[in-house]
Structure 1
Amino acid sequence: MMTLYGRRGWGSVLIEAQLAYYDLPFRFEEVDDLFTSASARKALARINPLAQVPTLLLDDGRVLTESAAITLHLADLTGRDDLVPGADAPERAAFLRWLVFLVTNLYPTFTYADEPTRFVADATAAKAFRARVDDYAQSLWRMVEHAAAAPWFLGERRSALDLYIGVMTRWRPRRPWFLAEAPKLHAIAQAIDAEPAFAGTLARNFAE
């Protein structure tokens, strides 16, 4: 059985939702707040030196990190192409482009700005840094909005990109901003919320 190290509402929800979707057996190991707990970071660093979630311990003992890598691995493991277009699918190139865009460009804006004092010691400068990063993130989201089709990001075909959008739009700048500034992404997020295959995982992670 695989073990997913994560925290409710954090990036691990992206992988938790896919494991549940594929009906793969796994154990969820909840970690303490990695921003505030040195002991939690030290414990997770024994498995993943970056001490980040998601961290997936495969059933043969190997460690897999980075949500995009895990997303591709789970599709290969199950032999399915309903979340990851196959190598010959016409949507494959766009899928890979925007999956990597989300995780290499947008995801780091949370890494750096969720707790900016980790990188900028002065409190006033840290506040300004967070504001600048958030503005930059919004400019990136506008690029994603421009590329999005309907009803799903790739058009008629639902993919893991839609799950990423459904989860990441719950973080800053949050859904009201997307409704006003990125309506296609907002519609995709709402559609993912309504998908029975993901509803349980999302409810567990984002319960008020």
Structure 2
Amino acid sequence: MSPILFYGVPSGCSFGSIVALEWLGLPYRLCRIEMPEVATSEAYRRINPVAETPSLLTADGHLLRESLAILNHLGSQATSNGLAFAQGTPEFDRLNQMLAYLNTTYFGAFAPLWYLLEHSIGDTEKQALREYGRALVEKAHADLEAMLGDQPWLLGGQRSLADAYFAGIARWTRYHDDVIDLADYPRLKALYERLQDDPAVRFAHAIEHQQAVTSAGGFRGEVTLAEALDQLAEATQEPVQ
């Protein structure tokens, strides 16, 4: 069976895993998870107990969670195209290091802004959270701008799975009322704009917005959560509750 990626909308970081799958050309299916309603449901918690996306039901019926783990799992299946590398090599270490930064510091910088968006709090708390979030996002972008340097992609002269993951998070600056101006980080802005022209990125945007689109990779269609649970039950030989 083809793996199933559970992707979150609106604007989930799972966007990067869709881009990665398109780049890698691996066969896959998608399962749309509305956040927070479906993500926090008992049904989806059978897939991911912490009610987050992305999750991956692998071809052999195992569940995998967290973007860093999913991207490294996918990359291990396609190391010949320069997007990922064999574990134990210096190139893998550099990729893993960049993915770890994106998955922790860069992603985490937006946490106060997500809390602000998703919770009802007083004006004083709102202002404090927004200022704190802006400071974190500014620092994360300044540090990533310095790491990027003059190279066109996050790891150098060729794109990698790190760029796919970056594509899904960098757009949050606009989602949160333009908390920063990417023009203040010209190298990152150039990378972001280059990615927006990529067919896989355009495909991921279209999938999120439920628009007609043609895959350039191994997309095999979408399945419902109920269908995915049936497949999980079949793989584990456990009845669906």
TM-score, normalization by structure 2: 0.73
User: Offset at 1:113?
Assistant: 2.5
**Greater CA drift, 21-30 or 82-91:** 82-91
**Greater CA drift, 157-166 or 68-77:** 157-166
Q: Which of 6, 17, 24 is the aligned partner of 2:26?
A: 24
Alignment partners' CA distance in 2, 1:124 and 1:94: 41
In structure 1, list runs of 5 or more residues that go unmatched.
none
Determine whether 1:158 maps to 2:162: no
Alignment partners' CA distance in 2, 1:178 and 1:16: 23
Map of 1:100 onto structure 2? 100
Q: SS of the residue aligned with 1:11?
A: coil
Map of 2:232 onto structure 1? none
Within 5 A, what are the aligned runs for 1:12-161? 12-34=14-36, 37=37, 40-42=39-41, 43-87=43-87, 90-116=90-116, 122=122, 124-149=124-149, 150-161=151-162
User: Offset at 1:54?
Assistant: 0.5
Q: SS of the residue aligned with 1:31?
A: strand
Q: Percent of aligned positions with the same letter in both sequences?
A: 25
**Greater CA drift, 181-190 or 198-207:** 198-207
8 Å CA contact 2:17–2:67 kept in 1: the answer is yes
Change (3 A) 1:123 1:133: same
Change (3 A) 1:131 1:206: farther
**Larger RCO, structure (CA 8 Å, separation 6 or more):** 2
Map of 1:170 onto structure 2? 171
8 Å CA contact 2:5–2:28 kept in 1: the answer is yes
User: Offset at 1:91?
Assistant: 3.9
User: Offset at 1:177?
Assistant: 1.1
**Greater CA drift, 92-101 or 134-143:** 92-101
CA RMSD of aligned residues (A): 2.8
In structure 2, list runs of 5 or more residues that go unmatched.
212-241
TM-score, normalization by structure 1: 0.83
Paired amino acid for 2:203: G
User: Offset at 1:117?
Assistant: 7.3
Change (3 A) 1:89 1:195: farther
User: Offset at 1:190?
Assistant: 1.4
8 Å CA contact 2:79–2:85 kept in 1: the answer is no
Describe the superposition over 1:10-54 as per-residue Cα deviations: whole angstroms up to 9, x where unpaired. 1111111112222223222111221xx2x5402322221110011
Alignment partners' CA distance in 1, 2:39 and 2:145: 36
Q: SS of the residue aligned with 1:167?
A: helix
Alignment partners' CA distance in 1, 2:71 and 2:128: 34
Change (3 A) 1:122 1:197: closer
Map of 2:6 onto structure 1? 5
Q: Which of 196, 199, 202 is the aligned partner of 2:199?
A: 196
Determine whether 1:184 maps to 2:183: no
Paired amino acid for 1:95: L
Q: How many residues align?
A: 204
Alignment partners' CA distance in 2, 1:207 and 1:188: 25
Map of 2:231 onto structure 1? none
